[in-house]
Chain A
Amino acid sequence: MADAEESEGIQRNDSINHTPGKIIKKQEIARAKNEGKELSKEEKQRLRKEKKQQKKNKKEDKGPSEKEKEKKPSASAASPAVTQSSAQKAPSVPAPVTTPVSESPVVSDKPSKSKAELKAERRARQEAERSSRHGKKEQGQQGASSKAKPPQNELQPVVKRLPEHVQVDDPAAVKKLAKKLERQQIPLRLDYGHKVSLFSHLHQYSRKAPLTQQISIPATVIHPSVVRLGLQYSQGIITGSNARAVALLHAFKQVIQDYSTPPNEELSRDLVNRLKPYISFLNQCRPLSASMGNAIKYIKKEISNISSQCKEEEAKKELLTCIDKYIREKITLAAQAISKYAIEKISDGDVILVYGCSSLVNHILCEAFDKQRKFRVIVVDSRPRLEGREALRRLVKRGIRCTYVLISALSYILPEVSKVFLGAHALLANGYVMSRVGTSQIALVAKAYNVPVLVCCETYKFCERVQTDSFVSNELDDPDDLIVTRNGKTHLEHWKTMETPTGGLLGLLNLVYDVTPPDFVDLVITDLGMIPCTSVPVVLRLKNVDQ
């Protein structure tokens, strides 16, 4: 009877589920058999649901989690590929997967499958998963749980695609980008000048060749405020990740205000598609920052969450209030919270070192000064941007006593310093701090002098990227900025045609960002509190769970 049931179960499995389900069902039936019950279809479904609940409670179980991950998405991916009817069962299929898997050592001695069949199963599973990766999104509940374990995904045999902006020396990627831009009717911005070979995989644009040369005046394909924003980015009128994010959201507000849904479309889908070419355009003007990327993700989510019952006016008003709320919470209030924490760390008689012009650090210092703390500031600056001059102006205007040095004088001035406050462009998932080029140097030298380094960063700049060096993903600014005229002589005027002694061409490198390892950072002050650098992944995970 047991054999009959087994074979019956197998046959039923073949008809209902795909091969991956075979082992699962077999084990379940075996267990049920062990329990001495004869299961009907409904009872099996109920069993599956219960197991799913158990599995949810056992989320922290990391032991067999890898195997769970592997089987879960594959199973979930496989099931929609099979039939629609099994879609309902699909959510429940993974549930029994997990628990039987944990018991797999128990039933491993079962001579259920031959090796060849197992191999075939695995191959089919991989193919199904690769082909129906998009189907994963429909498995809403799996999505939540799978997102909670992002690192595990990387262990899958699927290759993660590199973003195109770090593949400029690969002609296939460039061609793909050109095709995508052509489809969106955005002009392609051409690279300028010879690049240093180590960074030839990044874009290098010239400020004298703006993207607006190639679009029509008046801008019809792209909304005028987006064109204006792109110009302001590429000319450097709006710099600094907070300013860029706020300006971006402002432009999107204009876009939403001027938007009207075409007759047969839904606002939630069409508006997102409308924003895509604008984002490509802004990317061409200047590569997007992490803060902008997170803001865009938020907006896209908000737009897709608009229900189709909503009238257009209401939907637009709701979106506008969402944007205002985002800015208020993530930028303005966050800045206030951060300065509240940071002021605790500033004591009277402090000598604080800042680098470049970080809007957040300037805000903190001004607030501390208003709260009658006695300190003085040393502003460190570096070429070619010389942003420290602007920071110096703002601090001196407030009345703070400041000293100004170039970064080459850093080790000279550091013995005087009691604390270092740094701003960040983004905080990466492995705890590295991505900031203006030169920051890692400051952190390094400060560490050597045993001066505490505090990084101030809002949580909306936390990014899920992982980077350990400044080469792989960076931004190259206009190389002509490095050319300087002294005493009427410009030596590098014809750098594009200069040749090196070895016969190559001269390349000018103007890096924008660099990454600082977490060992050099003593504290990160965020709006959630003061955390060590290594707690960034925790914050990211909390953010994902919230969403």
Chain B
Amino acid sequence: MELQAVLMAAGGGSRMMDLTYNTPKPLLPVGNKPLIWYPLNLLERVGFEEVFVITTKEVQKALTDLKVKLDVKMKLDVVIIPEDADMGTAEALRHYQQKFKTDILVVSCDLITDVALHEVVDLFRAHNATLAMLMSKVHEFTETVPGQKGKKKAGEQRDFVGVDGTGKRLLFMANEADLEEGLVMRKSIMQKHPRMHIKTGLLDAHLYCLKKSVVDFLVDNKSITSIRGELVPYLVRKQFSKSANSQVNTEDNDQNQKKKDANANLEILSSSKDDDLLQLARERSCWNDHRGDMNEAYHGGKLRCYVHIMEEGMCYRVNTLAAYIEANRMAPKLFEEPPVHPSADVSERSLVGGDSIIGASCRISDKTSIKRSTIGASTVVKEKVKITNSIIMNGVTIEEGCNIQGSVICSNAVIGRGADIKYCLVGNGQRIEPEAERTNEVIVGTDQLMEI
């Protein structure tokens, strides 16, 4: 077997707590399908037959119930991590290390994309890379986000990504938060790759192909908790480290010793694969990945990290409210189901726009107008309601005469008669009293307010 797919669905959705305090993030409806359906659909389309899903107990229970509705033919091996352990992604990998027998493809559950996955995997295969990841150009979100006061702060937590001339080899990766005074770059990188393109407008899709030796390395190095936060920058840095060449023990510091052992481990684990024959083939082959210096292909380095940067196409990570709204708008393009579910009861005298999606078992009454919106399953919309640019989740009841614009109404909410909701977020199970007028508010239950 070549690759094992691992779906990380244990994240809490910490940046959109208003949406996720009641519904776990993997089950948030996007385009009337649970969020977890999108990466699973991506994996299924390329030909995976089994997926290893790491998630929480709640989601696991829901998945076993929902399994039929997920419409996924692959075999899902759902395992849980204990909720109180607060594990990072790398820790989860370490926990289930014995399940991984080959190289792994780690996908995050909040990724919605139509990328041609073979581009990423081909980089991984052809160059025998240690890491291959996917990135995409950031799309600006144009929709107004409910509950947001003022403009979004620009330049928050940018990622600095350095690639070489071909745009495929990953040379440098740092997050703005980790850089104190400025960008610090090793001289060895500049010597080996004098031309580097540094990009900041990239979105990390959290899709990684990792070699088996990396998983084994994780087992030995318990200090790494997060794949994106720690492992990936570590691997990118390690490509150019000198520890492989010089094994001199400068200090007897325990920390240093452990680090050196760790480094040695990675080198040993990744070099054991390189057969003598492969070495011979590479020597005899007249190919080099760079020009202009006297080094052989890959500068003789055994660790290589590659990135595929998507120029066009859809790639969203649904981890903020703005992204959630945008994804809802764009996600229907990914599947060919009819916008109006056949079991929905839509009255003839209502106006449902072509770009709206109506979920299963809905009841849309007369004289309603629904434009550019997503209506979830089992929702009841009474007469004379105007819904524009909104996302209505499952089980919502909207009484007559309401006007909902640019809002997100979570599951099981009830909007009273004649309410006028603009750019609001109504939490789970909330009731909006009739004739209410709310603009740009986040209406959630008192038990969910943050404790200070």
Residues of A within 8 A of B (CB): 210, 212-213, 215-220, 224, 227-228, 231-232, 235-240, 242-244, 246-247, 249-250, 253, 327, 331-332, 356-357, 359, 387, 389-391, 393, 396-397
Q: Are the C-beta atoms of A240 and B277 separated by less than 8 Å?
A: no
Binary contact readout B275-292 vs A (1 if CB under 8 angstroms, 0 otherwise): 101101111111110010
With an 8 Å Cβ cutoff, the count of chain B residues facing the other chain is 31
Tell whether, in the assembled complex, residue B284 and residue A359 are in contact, meaning their CB atoms are under 8 Å apart.
Answer: yes
The chain A residue sitting closest to B127, CB to CB, is: A237
> Smallest distance from the beta carbon of A369 to chain B beta carbons, Å?
16
Instruction: Judge whether B122 and A390 touch: CB under 8 Å.
Output: no
Taking the complex as formed, is B3 at the interface, i.e. its CB lies under 8 A from any CB of chain A?
Answer: yes
A356 to B285: give the CA distance in the assembly, Å. Answer: 12
B128 → chain A closest CB, angstroms: 7
* Complex Cα–Cα for A227 and B118 (A): 12
**Bound-state Cα–Cα, A458 to B156, Å:** 62
Are B288 and A390 interface neighbours, CB within 8 A? yes
Task: With a 10 A CB-CB cut-off, give which of B116, B122, B286, B287 has the most chain A CB atoms.
Answer: B286
A195 CA to B116 CA, complexed, in Å: 28
- Within 8 Å by CB of B281, from A219, A220, A238, A387, lies A238
Residues of B within 8 A of A239 (CB): 285-287
How many angstroms between the C-alpha atoms of A227 and B1 in the bound complex? Answer: 12
CA distance A219 to B281 in the complex (A): 23
- A212 & B121 in contact (Cβ 8 Å cutoff): yes
Sorted from nearest, which 7 A-B pairs have the closest CB atoms?
A216-B47, A357-B286, A243-B285, A218-B2, A224-B2, A243-B284, A250-B277
* Extra contacts besides A216-B47, A217-B121, A390-B288 (4): CB < 8 Å: A217-B3, A231-B122, A246-B284, A359-B284
Report A-chain residues with C-beta under 8 Å of the C-beta of B203. none
What's the Cα separation between A216 and B275 when bound, in Å?
A: 26
When distances are taken between beta carbons in the complex, the residues of chain B under 8 Å from A391 are 286
A59 to B184, CA, bound (A): 79
Contacts of A393 in B (CB 8 A): 288, 294
B185 on the A face (CB < 8 A): no
* Residue B450 at the chain A interface, CB threshold 8 Å: no
Q: How far is the CA of A231 from the CA of B123 in the complex (A)?
A: 9
- Interface residue ranges of B254-283 to A (CB < 8 Å): 275, 277-278, 280-283
Q: How far is the CA of A240 from the CA of B285 in the complex (A)?
A: 6
What A residues does B275 contact at CB under 8 A? 250
The interface residues of chain B lying within 8 Å CB-to-CB of A212 are: 118, 121-122, 125
Are A237 and B277 in contact, CB atoms less than 8 angstroms apart?
no
Contact B287 A250 (CB under 8 A): no
14 A–B contact pairs at CB < 8 A? A216-B48, A220-B1, A228-B128, A243-B286, A244-B281, A244-B285, A249-B277, A250-B277, A327-B277, A356-B286, A357-B286, A359-B284, A359-B286, A389-B291
* A210:B118 contact, CB within 8 angstroms: yes
Contact (A237, B286) CB under 8 Å given A217-B3, A217-B117, A246-B280: no
Residue on A with the closest CB to B275?
A250
A210 to B118, CA, bound (A): 9
Measured between alpha carbons, how far is A59 from B256 in the docked complex, in Å? 77
Is B126 in the interface zone, CB < 8 Å from A? yes
Note all chain B residues with C-beta closer than 8 A to A243.
281-286
- The smallest beta-carbon distance between B438 and chain A, in angstroms, is 48
Provide the B239-259 mask, 1 if CB < 8 A to any CB of A, else 0: 000000000000000000000
- A227 close to B2 (CB less than 8 A): yes
**Selected contact of B277 from candidates A227, A246, A390, CB within 8 Å:** A246
Residue B183 lies at the interface, judged by CB distance under 8 Å to chain A = no
**Least Cβ–Cβ distance between A454 and chain B, in angstroms:** 20
Most buried by B among A218, A219, A220, A232: A218
Kindly state the separation between the CA atoms of A244 and B284 in the bound complex, as whole angstroms: 9
Contacts of B288 in A (CB 8 A): 390, 393
Residue numbers in A under 8 Å from B277 (CB-CB): 246-247, 249-250, 253, 327
Residues of B within 8 A of A238 (CB): 281-282, 285, 287
B68 adjacent to chain A (CB < 8 Å)? no
**Is A242 touching B47 in the complex (CB atoms < 8 A)?**
no
Residues of chain A within 8 A of B1, CB atoms compared: 218, 220, 224
The answer, yes or no, to whether B449 is at the interface (CB within 8 Å) is no
Q: Which residue of A lies closest to B288 (CB)?
A: A390
Does the CB pair A250–B281 fall under 8 Å? yes
Indicate if the CB atoms of A218 and B48 lie closer than 8 Å.
Answer: yes
Say yes or no: A213-B118 contact (C-beta < 8 A), given A218-B48, A250-B278, A396-B294.
Answer: yes
Contacts of A218 in B (CB 8 A): 1-4, 47-48
Given A217-B2, A232-B126, is A240 in contact with B278 using a C-beta cutoff of 8 Å? Answer: no
Interface centre among A217, A220, A239, A249 (most CB of B within 10 A): A217
Max count, chain A CB within 10 A of own CB: residue among B121, B125, B291: B125
Q: Are B46's CB and A217's CB within 8 A?
A: yes
Residues of B within 8 A of A228 (CB): 125-126, 128
B249 CB → nearest A CB, Å: 31
Scan residues 213-237 of chain B and give those whose CB is less than 8 A from a CB of chain A: none
Contact with A along B105-139 (1 / 0, CB 8 A): 00000000000111001100111100000000000
**Cβ-defined partner of B278 (8 Å) among A220, A247, A331, A389:** A247
Smallest Cβ-Cβ distance to A250: which chain B residue: B277
User: Which residues of A lie under 8 Å from residue B46 when comparing CB positions?
Assistant: 216-217
Interchain nearest-CB distance for B199 vs A (Å):
21
Q: How far is the CB of A333 from chain B (nearest CB, A)?
A: 13
The CA-CA distance from A331 to B283 in the complex, in Å, is 13
A387→B117 contact, CB < 8 A: no
Contact, CB under 8 Å: A231 / B48? no
